[in-house]
Structure 1
Amino acid sequence: MRLLFLACLSPKTGNCTTAERIRDHIESAGHVCVLRDTRDFSSASEVTLLMSQDQEPFDAALAIHLYKGGRLLLDAGVPFGVVFGGTDINEDVKDEHKRSVMKKVLHKARFAVAFTEEMKQKAKTHLDCDTMKIYVQAQGIETRTSSDFSWTDFLHTSGVCVDRVDDLHVFLLVCGLRKVKDPLYLLNAFSEWHAQNPLVILIIIGPKIDPALSSEVKECVKRCSGVFLAAERNQEELHAAMRKAFAVVNSSVSEGMSAAILEAMDLCVPVLARNIPGNAAVVRHGHNGLLFSSPQEFVLLSKRLLRDKELQENLKSNGKHYVTERHDSATERRTYQQLVEKLQ
């Protein structure tokens, strides 16, 4: 079977990584899966044209995000499935037009995949859909780290100049620079804390997705002592940096399921995450991570984590256990391979 797979493919983002992983699952079952960026198409008619013009016809299709991707498949003329993104349920349902389109997508789709049971129930509430066709499958997590990582080299290549590198406690905020990730949320509070304790630093790392916000972050970082902006890295280098960090941070205003949080847990790194539904579905406060509701609470929890070695070890071991138990990549692979059979 030959499938067209539509997703948002900004390089080195969670969406891109998830799409590439799912494509691998599908192709490992012997199918051909052609991955295309939703930004390449301005309307469903362009996808329909692709279907009709391609020398090798597509038998089926798949999309991540019901609105961004699914809407492009409504007139494709082939059976398709969809995967919910956090934006679908947390943001797009607030828009009447987008909500109407997503209802049509769910009605026509052979199946839909939600990362959590909470996401499935939100779809039932907001999209008035048949939940029998919605399957819950958490993201599968696999981490690989480069072996020659050092903070000295990492900071130097990022243009970060700090003293006593080996004594630093690095808090790593992994996010694409766009509004929903709210990369400016902690800057002032963290900078004030750094003034009291120069050994704590915050590094923001990720691709520059929103040009205007990226410029704003760059200027704000210049004014905030102890906060640095690092260039994006490939997956192995990023995972190596995460493994060496004191903690990984998430400050998003909306999440479906944060891959960075799960990757940090898999790497046995403590997680501090903003207390929003998508994060709270993964992070159990005080057990496998810490949840904060304000910049000030983030600082208080971070100070507690620094001085409490037992808490550090508990978060690491419980986080690793959670990912191993709930986010097995082999289980995810079997699920998508079985679901694709519904498109034949």
Structure 2
Amino acid sequence: MKVLLASPNFHQPRGNTVTVQRIANSLEKLDVDTEIISTTEKQWTTLPEADIVHGFHAYHFYKFIQKLDEKPDPYMVTITGTDLNHDLFDKQKREDVFASLKGAKAIHVFDDKAKEVISNELSEVEDKIFTIAQGNSNFPKENPPVKKEENTFLFVLPAGIRKIKNVPEAIKMMSKMHDKFPRVRLWLVGPIIEEQEGQAVEELVRQHDWIEYLGQVPHLNMGAIYQSADAVLNTSHDEGQSSAIIEAMGFGIPVLVSNNPGNRSIVTHQKNGFVYKSPNEFLDYGEQIINNNEIKQKIGQQAKQHIADYHSSTYEADNFLKIYKSILN
């Protein structure tokens, strides 16, 4: 069997790229032939031959296949985040999302809440929606690109710099934390995706000597960065299901995340991480992580166990293969 994985912005280090590459690697271990193409960086008219096409991001995938001389049949779609939280409710994009989902033989979502949202908006596709949580990545042993300062407490925020990731607000909240705990440090990791937002973030970084912007880092190096961290942040307005948070938790790192559906699908507040609803809560929970080593260790251990139990990349690939076979049969 050959599966063609079609992802937007594949050659940029974004969450979708990490997800698609991980799935391809895991499928290859099951003797599935895979090929990855980007749906946004090249004008395709004919697709490479494959038994099934698996598109990521319902809206982008639909716009992509409209430009092909021959539409893929069969195909399935993975809902990745923006298409669920924004495009599905955007008057200009909603019908394209519907068309993408109606044409798919199967629809993959990361959690049952996403399934509920789609079913409420388009009940006719409910029977072909499958829930498979994001798998976790494996990392080689690497040295971090930057060495953590001794006797400091390091927060890491992995995020492509764009408005939805809310990085300026993260810096603002972390500044208050640093005022109270001068040993706090912050690493920002990720490429600039939106230029204006990137300029704003770089200007803020220049104002604080305790913040380092590492920029774009190869995904293979992220394991070393997580292992340097004392805590990992996600401050996004919306998420599908953050690969970075899953990866950090897999290392037993406490996470402090914003209150959105994607984050809540992974993090259970005060059990395997912290979910904040306001800047004051962010500071309160951050202080708990800094000051209470017992809580830090307990949360980290429970995070690591949760990822082992519910975010296996082997389980993820096995279930995709079952879906592919059911579609082809």
Query: TM-score normalized by structure 2?
Result: 0.92
Aligned equivalent of 1:315:
299
Is the Cα contact below 8 Å between 1:6 and 1:37 reproduced in 2? yes
Is the Cα contact below 8 Å between 2:81 and 2:239 reproduced in 1? yes
Is the Cα contact below 8 Å between 2:62 and 2:99 reproduced in 1? no
Is the Cα contact below 8 Å between 2:165 and 2:237 reproduced in 1? yes
User: 2:150 aligns to what SS in structure 1?
Assistant: helix
Structure 2 counterparts to residues 291-306 of structure 1, below 5 A: 291-306=275-290
Aligned equivalent of 1:115:
110
Choose which of 54, 60, 63 in structure 1 pairs with 2:55.
63
RMSD value over aligned CA atoms?
A: 2.0
Distance 1:277 1:244 in 2: 28
Is the Cα contact below 8 Å between 1:270 and 1:315 reproduced in 2? yes
Residue 71 (structure 2) pairs with residue 76 (structure 1): yes
Aligned equivalent of 2:248:
264
Report the Cα offset of residue 106 of structure 1.
1.4
Aligned equivalent of 1:255:
239
Q: Which runs of 4+ in 1 moved over 6 A?
A: none
Superposed CA offset, 1:223-243 (max 9, x none): 245322113222232111111
Superposed CA offset, 1:298-344 (max 9, x none): 12211122111221111111101110111111111111111122343
Superposed CA offset, 1:18-45 (max 9, x none): 111222344444443321111135xxxx
Q: Identity rate of aligned residues, in percent?
A: 26
Is the Cα contact below 8 Å between 2:61 and 2:100 reproduced in 1? no
Is the Cα contact below 8 Å between 1:114 and 1:135 reproduced in 2? yes
Choose which of 81, 87, 93 in structure 1 pairs with 2:88.
93
Superposed CA offset, 1:102-155 (max 9, x none): 111111111011110111111111233321111100011133242444xxx615
Residue 169 (structure 2) pairs with residue 168 (structure 1): no
* Larger mean Cα displacement after TM superposition, 284-293 or 204-213: 204-213
Choose which of 204, 217, 221 in structure 1 pairs with 2:205.
221
Pick closer, same or farther for the CA change 1:166–1:140 going to 2, 3 Å. Answer: same
Distance 2:207 2:78 in 1: 40
Structure 2 counterparts to residues 112-151 of structure 1, below 5 A: 112-149=107-144
Aligned equivalent of 1:281:
265
* Larger mean Cα displacement after TM superposition, 249-258 or 227-236: 227-236
Report the Cα offset of residue 211 of structure 1.
2.0
Q: How many residues align?
A: 324
User: 2:37 aligns to what SS in structure 1?
Assistant: strand
* Larger mean Cα displacement after TM superposition, 30-39 or 107-116: 30-39
Query: TM-score normalized by structure 1?
Result: 0.88
Superposed CA offset, 1:131-181 (max 9, x none): 1111100011133242444xxx6159xxxxxxxx21010000011111111
Aligned equivalent of 2:7:
7
> What are the ranges of 5 or more consecutive residues in structure 1 without an aligned counterpart?
157-164
Distance 1:226 1:190 in 2: 10
